Structure 1
Amino acid sequence: MKKSVSLKDIANQLGVSTSLVSYVLNGHAKKKRVSDGIAKKIFSTAERLNYRPNQIAKSLKTKKTQTIGLIVQEIHYRYTTGITRAIETQAKKSHYTVIIGNSHEDLSTLKELIHVLINRQVDGLIIVAAENAEAEIEYIKKQEIPFVLIDRNFPSVETNFIGIDNFRIAYQAVQYLLARKYKNIAFINYNTSFFHLQERNRGYNQALKDAGLPVKRSLHKEIRKKHYEQDVNKAMAELTSGKPACDAIFFATDTLAVSGLRNLIQRKIKIPKDISVLSFDESDAFALSECPITYFRQPLEAIGAAAVNLLFEVMNGKGECQQVYLESTLVKGRSCGEPE
């Protein structure tokens, strides 16, 4: 069996100290003020000798595995791919690798992933939690594993959290429609206990109340997640045939918006001539609509980077629990009657 190349072998080749080689290969060249020329020679020599770091020995010495566990809801979601990319990019800057698990919005799968990642001895966790996952989050706290929640949090459990102000954005969405003279504004959301989606309900209701308008149950449609296509079709039929029919629909998620748009296209209902549409989030499928859709864009890159930075703070024992809310941006199309 071929003998593995050590840091000492590289140091002997170049006539430098083993500690200098270690600093450079571990990404601390600038911190230790190693010249670019020396650093380049160390990297090229390590590559020529086919040096491979002994991660097990390194982990035993530092008591760190240089890994972060990331649990997401569905890897194919646009939100998830954007967040994951941002987290990996930010983690890589500190020489961390991200191990990704997909819960499929299933509580038992989330619980299993948490145990797997803890047993893999990840240094910390970033989690998009499943519905009713309070007990699982409490378990992580008891294990004293550093973690940060993103997108979804639980008011009953004190945690570090990075996300957006769902109440405020929903409130602003309704205000935007009201400013464009829409009065019968419908809202389509999931029937769920998720706090972030409940906050969108609250924002919709409060904006109408503050405008002196009634909150009509007939205009607020709750969709079953497992039957969302069927329920959205039913809701769209009711909303567009009522007397008076609604003049604008605010969708609580991009998935619901895409389903609603598909229904309108199939029924040849024109946007915004016949009805206006506003989405809480964006989707690549919006490109299929003849009318550019107006939506609120979440700051995915900023959320991902902030989650990693906050996790590193927690891992280093800094500060109290933090809940950080980042700004979303209204991207104006023409689906709310905006001028071309």
Structure 2
Amino acid sequence: MVKKTSMKDIAQDVGVSIALVSYVLNNKKENRIGKEIARKIRESARRLNYQTNQIAKSLKTNKSFTLGLIVADISNPFSSSLARIIEDEADKHNYTVLFGSSDENPQRLQKQIDTLLNRQVDGLIIAAPEGSEAQLITLQQRIPFVLIDRYFPELKTNYVALDNYKSIYTGVQHLLDSGYRRIGLISFDTDLFHINERVKGYRAALTENQIPFANTWLKTLGQVTYKAEMAQAIQELRAGKQPVDAILFASNALALHGLKQLNALSVRVPDDVAVLSFDEAEAYDLFYTPISCIRQPLLDMGQMATKLLIEIIQKNNRITQVNLEAELLIRPSTRPIP
């Protein structure tokens, strides 16, 4: 059996004390250690294939240096991109991230929470599903956590999210400024605060621009059944003597399936209808007409949530709540009407 490299081996190889090796490899007292000797210690550790004894470290510090992340659906481009950002940021602080999906289901959320707690994670980042308020209240007594993307205004919790009202208001204003007057919105049928803020922002932008809102312009689809319901929603928006001249999708999942249905119905974008999506997706660039979107600041959101959680783990008990601003990316799918 190959002998596992220890700090003592590195100390002997470089000719320094074991304590100095420990300081360097654990990123302690960096301002008091010469850069050249620190470089030699790290180079020796790489050459000798040194690996941290995480179990011993956990016993000593009473921490696992592991974070748990629960998103709605890790296969969704929004969730997977956010997960990678969180993973990279956690790595900068010597933390590992374990992932799970709630599938927008409180029971599955609880299963993921229990699994991660059994893995002894130090804290959680959660994109909480509808109806999970009671679980979060209970969780506050058990482990530090930060909500990301979604939050519940009535709960005093740490969160990093988006100003959804302002973001979608800006998107609707862009469509109006481009000459569109019959703007439909396809959203989810849910009580989630961030989704309802998007609906409120959409309606407020129409009202404040003196555009009478028609109930037929708003389609709310089931979070589980939206794929099957999409075709009918688009057909209804495009029906009648005055069909909508623009469609705003309240998420990238809705937009991706909406674009498929527009293709299937031979509806041309933007000749027949303009399209604007909340959230970005790489697939938009592969569509025959690049799709305008409301881009969420995923990098800032993921990094801030990770840093905030680590601060809380280190006994920062201050409640922090952040609402970031989105960026409107204008592409040919919302070109101005001549």
* Equivalent in the alignment of 1:85: 84
CA RMSD of aligned residues (A): 2.0
Q: TM-score, normalised by structure 1?
A: 0.93
Letter in 1 for 2:240: G
1:235 CA displacement: 1.2
The superposition leaves residues 11-54 of structure 1 with CA deviations (integer Å, 9 ceiling, x where unpaired) of 2343322210101111336x243223322332333344443332
Secondary structure of 1:189 counterpart: strand
Letter in 2 for 1:39: A
Q: Which moved more, 1:217-226 or 1:281-290?
A: 281-290
Q: Aligned in 2, Cα 1:247/1:317: closer, same or farther, shift over 3 Å?
A: same
Spell out the pairing of 1:1-340 with structure 2 (5 A cutoff): 4-28=4-28, 31-143=30-142, 145-318=143-316, 320-338=318-336
The superposition leaves residues 277-328 of structure 1 with CA deviations (integer Å, 9 ceiling, x where unpaired) of 1111122222342222111111111111111111122122225211111221
- Contact 2:168–2:294, Cα closer than 8 Å, also in 1: no
Looking at structure 1, the residues matched to 115 and 322 of structure 2 have their Cα atoms a distance apart, in angstroms, of 28
Q: Which moved more, 1:9-18 or 1:19-28?
A: 9-18
Structure 2 residue ranges without an equivalent (≥5): none
Secondary structure of 1:92 counterpart: helix
Q: State the 4+ residue runs in structure 1 displaced beyond 6 angstroms.
A: none
Q: TM-score, normalised by structure 2?
A: 0.93
Q: Which moved more, 1:185-194 or 1:224-233?
A: 224-233
Secondary structure of 1:149 counterpart: strand
Structure 1 residue ranges without an equivalent (≥5): none
Secondary structure of 2:186 counterpart: strand
- Contact 2:72–2:103, Cα closer than 8 Å, also in 1: yes
Secondary structure of 1:186 counterpart: strand
Q: Aligned in 2, Cα 1:27/1:217: closer, same or farther, shift over 3 Å?
A: same
1:214 CA displacement: 2.2
- Contact 1:332–1:338, Cα closer than 8 Å, also in 2: no
Q: Percent identity?
A: 43
Q: Which moved more, 1:36-45 or 1:82-91?
A: 36-45
1:233 CA displacement: 0.6
Looking at structure 2, the residues matched to 236 and 102 of structure 1 have their Cα atoms a distance apart, in angstroms, of 29
Secondary structure of 1:226 counterpart: coil
Secondary structure of 1:202 counterpart: helix
Looking at structure 1, the residues matched to 45 and 302 of structure 2 have their Cα atoms a distance apart, in angstroms, of 32
Looking at structure 2, the residues matched to 125 and 76 of structure 1 have their Cα atoms a distance apart, in angstroms, of 19
- Contact 2:289–2:333, Cα closer than 8 Å, also in 1: yes
Looking at structure 1, the residues matched to 46 and 174 of structure 2 have their Cα atoms a distance apart, in angstroms, of 57
1:187 CA displacement: 0.8
Looking at structure 1, the residues matched to 42 and 199 of structure 2 have their Cα atoms a distance apart, in angstroms, of 55
